[in-house]
Structure 1
Amino acid sequence: MGAPRESVMRKKRYEDSLQESQLNEFVQSIDRPSAVFTLEGKLIKANKLAAALLTAEFIKALSFQQWKSEKGMLRQKVIQDNKCFVCIARKIDLVLHQFYFVYIEKENTKREVPVLNNIVGCVMDSAQEGIYITDGEGYTLKINDTYSTITGIAKQDVEGKHVSELIMRGYFDSSVTAKVIKYRQKVSVMQKINNERNIWLVSGTPVFDKYNNLILVINTLYDMTKLNELQERLKKQALSLKEQEREIEKLRSKASEIPGFIAQSRVMDVTVDRINRLSKVDTSVLILGETGTGKNVIAEKIHSLSDRKNGPFIEVNCGAIPESLFESELFGYRKGAFTGAANEGKQGIIESAEGGTLFLDEIGEMPLALQVKLLTVLQNKKVRRVGDVKGRDVDIRIIAATNKEPKVLIEKQKLREDLYYRLSVVTVDLPPLRDRKEDIYLLTKHFLDKFNRKHQKQLKLAKEVYFTFEFYSWPGNIRELEHIVEQLVVLNDGPVVKETDLPESFQQLLSSRPAYYDEGRKPLKELVNGFEKRYIEELWEEHQDIYEVSEKLGLHRTTLLRKAEKLGILLKKTNKD
């Protein structure tokens, strides 16, 4: 009897901890002074706005003892610094704890609720998506019929109430409205509503008046079941199209050593050769390179040229998955493995890559504890789901990548040394774009064609733009080049994009380049003559000797004298001719 009761208590403590964490997150996100107190009046949490107000005198003025005997929403006025504040409190009950959630506003704060006329109401109720509208402070103005139907929430239960109160009462697990109010921009979140198992996609859009005051937040709720069904239909329809595109890509790149791979520079010869070799073996690979050098492209090319090409290629950015979800997402879990786990369990990403390739980008961002489990997968070819005792056989190839030096990651305990040696059976070092000057023209042309098609334009780049691109250092590498080219296509109507159209980041480069660079607009012969004249004058100034200068130039001295006369260079002889 003792063990089950202890298990129940552990579960309750876990739920309390989770709710307190969510409460703290919400308090910090609210754009008005908000705080949490114990029933005795001890301050637990407060956001920055509240911390500035909650002096010892202010807290002492709050009637916590009187609140204990009252129910519902509590209001109390507090005078501080000759200003009157209204404190609105609500008692919150967790399994093991009780406390007050309090938010504070000035007494003269006015909340002007925009009038939603019958026409707007009819339009809302005819929409297929659920619509939830609040004012600029988070008070619910209206929800449409679709929202009520999807979520089971009645209009009278939420209209007129603040979203913070509704969260505390369990209507939502988080508030997209609070995030929109905080960031003043469109926000989309996955939201759990009315304590149901279903997760909904909710997008919140801010509406501002002519003075840039936030007056409305329009939340749109999408039924993910219908969206997923539509997505599956579109996937099936796209399969044949994707196959056709692959065939076209193969035909286009017949001349390339690696289909679809753009590279002609010598520094990439080693990379191309290594990719070809790695496609013929089935071993782990570690790709090294700066951000934006195309590590994911290399990984996919290795996969598409290998015997696993008919299997899945799954890319995972280790820095994009929350640490709390990483293990269950990567390794999967058995049913009942933890609170909230799906009844049927879930297959992890590793198992989803069966027969294919798993690409782990930013491997140094993977939690160290999970690196041990990944090492086991590499060694034993088995994956053990969360909550499982036995491992499951898997047949996958793992390619990892990082934009940092592996030895530095190991020293900082971001990467296990034993995992590094397992992953780096073979490494591929990708050079930055600044070391691939010969490839810049081809890559630029590729992206220009791509975005001309996408945006239905026919822009061309002036030759000066190509010259400037080769002088630029490209700290963001290929990704930055792609971004710049699309920006030029989108912002220009053409027909030719000039240097003056380049972004601000290029203007300093244009103003600091050598003066003779602009002579590139002159005829080639004139440009060459100007360069020869400057070079000979510099050598003469340094050596003041016809023999030494002619030797440096690799010319006979009489040839040098004729050239100097032709170019108008006065050479003062110091030795015999």
Structure 2
Amino acid sequence: MNNTLLHLTTHDYENVINAIYCSILIVNRDGHPIYYNLAAQKLAKESNVNYHELLAKLSEQIDIGNGQGRFSVDNGENWIICNIYPWENKEKRNGSILVLHESGHAVCASQEVDILTNTLKEIDAIIESVADGVIVADGNGIIIRINKAVERTFNVHRKTLIGQSSTLIVQKGVFREGIVEKVLQQRDKVIVASEYAGKKLIYTGIPSFNEKKLTCVIVTIQDVSAMNMLRHKLEKQELAMADYVREIANMKSKDIVQDTIIVHSKKMTRIMEIINVVSSVDSTVLITGESGTGKERVVDAIYQHSNRNTKPLIKINCGAIPDTLFESELFGYEHGSFTGARKNGKIGFFELANTGTLLLDEIGELSLASQVKLLRVIQEKEVLRIGGSKPVPIDVRIIAATNRNLWKMVEAGTFRQDLYYRLNVINIEVPPLRERRDDIIPLARYFVQIYNEKYKKNKKLSLEICHSLGERNWPGNIRELENVIETMVVLVPGNLLLPEHLPQKVAEDSNPGIVVHGIQPMKEAVQDVERQLLMQAAKKYKTTREMAHALGIDQATVSRKMNKLCR
């Protein structure tokens, strides 16, 4: 003990006790208080602590004269924490010394500790979860925190680094850059680029201050090479996604076309490929083919798939317009141009179709005089109304269609050669139904569905009628097939359509025999002949066994081929 304390008086000791923040109460062996310091008096006054009641509660728990320990006593609004120590003199116990404080202070402190602990845990979790490396050093450059990303980047263990000087760690070659030292020296943010084991790293050091005192340095380390790899990978994924989007758009566009036209045969598949190409450009298209082959459906498909599909599609039947009215109908006229003209004049079909598409159907029916007028408009891209003096510019995509052989008409002198070349930039020849037999049954089923919905019916094609429909040459092409299907859907009383339900003319048509339609690849010709043989055999024989015997093949082969034909 310091000898100076031996010279303290009783008054000095009392001053020392009164200077203590804690409430101190001294009781004798009987449990009666004999001394209170100033803090104890303040506690009794401000917190309404009755020491006699308090001592009575404590006396029920322990014997004041002999007890020792830490106790909590309910004081109504709060709790009193009491630490009891023995008061002895020459090994003789004179009583007890009680050190008291309110539990509110302790609870508040405990809550603050809990909040701080949880906050530190959250911060720790955040530091561990980030992809960047994180190093924390104190104000003296001693490493106090390192996350897992640093361990991975530098292939080190944090336990060997925490508590070490950052300068020493740099000297050992663990880190290449003394970023912590630079921040401590400059007392400002520092950014350094470096390389380590082939990795490009960006160090960012940030100082942290507390009342202008630099208390710690936080360093983040970004692996730029990893970011570059991710960027390149993302760019590749974006390119791949763009390809997927284009492919999906292309597939959707094909779906749009094939929703308009039934496609199963190879010839129509090729036409669909051409339609998908020409739809994306504004070239003039000439569509040829027999009547009823679906030329107008091809026009609709090109229009729907083009970039003009939100603009007008004007369809003109050139064969239905008298030659004397051709100019006024297509080019329009000003008011008062001729007797019977509208008061305010009229715009022609070309102006109606401006920025859109104009179909010139039955183009082969135009007179030579009308052909000359049409040629001028196509060449000049402008129209002059009858009675007008100022040409009107037009932006129109032209599609022409005809069932006539225009080149033969050119040779015969009934169709202008220059107009022919203007129109025949891209030629799409739609084959007759007899040359696309794989489409007959799908078309028939499509029309059954259409007219079932229209007339609220539930008709179905039998296997036998599929054979009959597929065997016929259909001189009227798709238009004739559609007419036959509609007739049967309306008139047949039952739901199953059979060969006997075919209209009489169709049923009475004689079989033309086995025919190869024009020059075609040998494989396609063989398939066509095989199909015709199967259809004729199915019509003549009632069972696949009989068909197999007549054709000289086994029954399983007949069944498989027939099922394939009727899909």
| TM-score band w.r.t. shorter chain | 0.3 to 0.5
**Which structure has the greater CA radius of gyration?**
2
